Amino acid sequence: MFETPETLIIPCHPPVCEEMKHYNIEEKPMTGELGEISEWSARMALRDFPVGSEQSLEDVTNRAHNIQFQLHLSKMVDLGLVNMEWCPEHGDFTYGLTEDGKDLGAQMG
């Protein structure tokens, strides 16, 4: 039985390409399920840590989820469902549903 390690050593910064956004870490087409991580997001997460450093699997996984969520937000902005605005007070972007986003939310739930 294989045990998942609690930490890992970042071996290198792997190459990435746009096509990887369409496949999950099991090399299957993305299904859009909550918590699913694309190959692109997983590789980008590894690039956020220094080569040779020891990182907790939890930290790397959390970073990959954060990157994946940013991809979803960007797509929702592109589709006109969400507004993204810079907030100088917080030094970060803020997000809000557009009318189309509110309508879609009402239809879904």
- Distance in angstroms between the alpha carbons of the first and the last residue of the chain: 42
Read off the pLDDT of each residue in 28-34 and give the average, rounded to a whole number: 88
Helix (H) or strand (E) holding 92: strand 92-97
Contact present, 79 and 99 (Cβ < 8 Å): no
pLDDT tens string 9-18: 999 999 999 9
According to DSSP, the residues that pair with 33 across neighbouring strands are none
DSSP category for residue 3: P
Which residue, among 50, 73, 71, has the nearest Cα to 60 in the 3D structure?
50
Provide the pLDDT confidence category of residue 5 given band limits of 50, 70 and 90.
confident
